[in-house]
Amino acid sequence: MAEPTSVRKLIKGRGIVLPGDDIDTDRIIPARYLRLITFEELGKYAFFDERFDDAGKPKPHPLNDPRFTGGSILLVNRNFGCGSSREHAPQSLMRMGINAFVGESFAEIFSGNCTALGLPAVRVSHDDALRLQKLVESDPTLELSVDLEALTVMAGRQKVTFTMPDPDRRSLVSGTWDSTAMLLANKDQIVAASKRIPYLHGFAESKTAS
């Protein structure tokens, strides 16, 4: 039987080197582009203020660099995606063609948002992050593959191991990262849980219980 299309086991593609620590969500997607009630157009606006000057002319930036055109795996450093909870950040990158992130660490909400969109955000050591960035800098055509079962990133013939929160990995590999259906399957337990939480019924139950 064919696997569901939501399964994410092996992500292949070329890399884009986006160096720097603490790259925040305001840099990834400036707040003025959050005034849209859908995510559809966001691919155009990722890193907008870093990619274009005040007159709209392109500035030197990895996402404008023709060597990286068509790349789909973003190679980043420490605490990528810190700041706001805006899902617009991974949405904008996904919609411009990013399928996976390889970095030293990720902000927690950003990382969770990536998983919720089926995008792996995998953690490598500082040295390995620099090594992968250097390899791709020197040969942007290098094919990378992120293997969520072997927990490795292959860059040509170089192999690097990664870590990621196991629940994220399991939901990607099993294709259950869109969690609504899984959560809703427990509807009876949800209703049962609500009955034992005192503040949900004006503390009436704890009164009768005591």
What are the CA-CA distances from residue 22 to residues 58, 103, 184 (Å)?
23, 11, 36
Interacting residue with another protein among 9, 13, 65, 109 (CB under 8 A): 109
Q: Mark the segment that binds another protein (CB under 8 A) among 10-18, 68-76, 150-158, 196-204.
A: 196-204
| Separation between Cα atoms, residue 120 and residue 169, nearest integer Å | 8
Residues in a beta bridge with 155: 144, 158
Q: Mark the segment that binds another protein (CB under 8 A) among 67-75, 78-86, 130-138, 142-150.
A: 78-86
Q: Which residue has the tokens 């009630």?
A: 37
Q: Mark the segment that binds another protein (CB under 8 A) among 21-29, 65-73, 129-137, 145-153.
A: 21-29
> How many positions of this chain bind another protein (CB under 8 A)?
66
Interface with another protein includes 176 (CB under 8 A)? yes
The answer to whether residues 29 and 146 touch, using CB atoms and an 8 Å cutoff, is no
Question: Which residue, 177, 80, 47, 180, is CA-closest to 120?
Answer: 177
Interface with another protein includes 108 (CB under 8 A)? yes
Task: Classify burial at 9, counting beta carbons within 10 Å of its beta carbon; exposed 0-12, middle 13-18, buried 19 or more.
Answer: middle
Nearer to another protein, 161 or 186 (CB): 186
Q: Mark the segment that binds another protein (CB under 8 A) among 7-15, 28-36, 62-70, 142-150.
A: 28-36
> What is the helix (H) or strand (E) element at residue 101, kind and residue range?
strand 100-103
Task: Classify burial at 94, counting beta carbons within 10 Å of its beta carbon; exposed 0-12, middle 13-18, buried 19 or more.
Answer: buried
Amino acid at site 117: L
User: What mask, x for binding another protein by CB under 8 A, covers residues 139 to 158?
Assistant: --------------------
Nearer to another protein, 54 or 149 (CB): 54
The answer to whether residues 147 and 89 touch, using CB atoms and an 8 Å cutoff, is no
Interacting residue with another protein among 1, 54, 149, 157 (CB under 8 A): 54
Interface with another protein includes 26 (CB under 8 A)? yes
The answer to whether residues 22 and 79 touch, using CB atoms and an 8 Å cutoff, is yes
Which residues form the interface with another protein (CB under 8 A)? 20-22, 24, 26-27, 30-32, 34-39, 49, 54, 78-79, 82-87, 90, 105, 107-109, 112-113, 116-117, 126, 165-168, 170-171, 174, 176, 178-180, 182-184, 186-187, 189-190, 193-194, 196-200, 202-204, 206-207, 210
